[in-house]
Amino acid sequence: MLLTVRDAHLPGETYAEKIANARAAGLDGVEFESTPALYDQLPAVADALSQHQLRASAVYLGHTTLIHPDYAQREAARVRVRQALAAAVDLSADGVVFYGHYSRTHVLPDLHPYKSAVELEAELLSTELRATLCDLAYAMGKRLFLLHAHSGDTALLRRLEHVVRMRQTQNDHPYLWAAASVHSMSMEGANVAETLRANAQHLGYVYVGDYGQRWPGAEGRRLQPVAEVLRGVGYTGWVSVEGNDPTVIPQPFLAPMVGVVRAYGFA
């Protein structure tokens, strides 16, 4: 397995400094958030990665409006996905991580008995993937990693199983994969290890973190069964370490944190 951390969480004022710190801490790569600053500095970021012999794991697009009721908003979301895929090409990243939907309430109407809001939203997202996005990813040679959230953050794709079902509507498209979040699975009360094992064939990217979105520390033993499952199913892809407490990892804590995560089996 390959360890990565999103650039926004790494110490450093510039991309070059963040990449250097990631290398010094023993990470295998850096996940880059989709921002205007990144797009303006793609050649310099690629050079810094090469200089420090690190890889770009993915471009993190995050929230999208792919199922917004307004067509202009949906088109804007498609443009953002296309731009992120192009950045992934420039950085030789594996692909783009994104949410298909991110709103606590449904954005389409409930048309029962014809179709419920969640049925309409799932159908629209499936159509967006089939009609445009999967073909675009295939043409650009970069994978799409569809990420689930949890009930407190979204009304659609609240479990890893929902993302898997969406992938299955695309006949397990080779350029569409599930991104699993340990935090979101825990928030939904799922048995994280068993859920990962049951959906292993669909996994393309995994996020791990400690309770309360803290960065893994000595008490982060709940990561060990996750690592055991991933090793057991032969997962060799990216594992992105995530947390928000604090937002930026303090420099003295970064290398020990990476060491803790590897000690629990992510190696």
What is the tens place of the pLDDT at every residue in 179-202? 999 999 999 999 999 999 999 999
Confidence of residue 118 (pLDDT cuts 50, 70, 90): very high
Every domain of the chain and the residues it spans:
2-263
**Cα-to-chain-centroid distance, residue 43:** 23
Residue position matching structure tokens 């009609």: 131
Confidence of residue 101 (pLDDT cuts 50, 70, 90): confident
What mean pLDDT do residues 141-165 have? 96
Mean of pLDDT over the chain: 95
Cβ atoms of 199 and 168 closer than 8 Å = no
Q: Which residue has the higher pLDDT, 3 or 211?
A: 3
SS3 248: coil
**Which pLDDT tens digit goes with each residue over 213-246?**
888 876 556 789 999 999 999 999 999 999 988 9
Cβ atoms of 126 and 180 closer than 8 Å = no
Provide the β-strand partners of residue 60: 33, 97
Taking the C-alpha atoms of residue 215 and residue 11, their distance in angstroms, rounded to an integer, is: 14
**Taking every pair of C-alpha atoms in the chain, what is the biggest distance, in angstroms?**
59
Give pairs for 128-132: CB < 8 Å, separation 24+: 128/66, 128/67, 128/74, 128/78, 128/100, 129/100, 129/166, 129/169, 129/170, 129/173, 129/176, 130/169, 130/170, 132/78
What mean pLDDT do residues 200-217 have? 90
Helices (H), 64-221: 71-91, 117-128, 134-140, 160-169, 182-187, 192-198
Peptide bond between residue 69 and the one before it cis (omega within 30 degrees of 0):
no
Helix axes 251-263, 15-25, angle to 10 degrees: 40
Does 99 score more than 90 pLDDT? yes
**Which pLDDT tens digit goes with each residue over 14-29?**
999 999 999 999 999 9
Provide the β-strand partners of residue 29: 4, 55
> What is the pLDDT, as a whole number, of residue 219?
59
What mean pLDDT do residues 63-71 have? 95
Whether the model pTM is above 0.75: yes
Structural class in CATH, domain 2-263: alpha beta
Does 210 score more than 90 pLDDT? no
**Which pLDDT tens digit goes with each residue over 84-97?**
999 999 999 999 99
What mean pLDDT do residues 123-142 have? 97
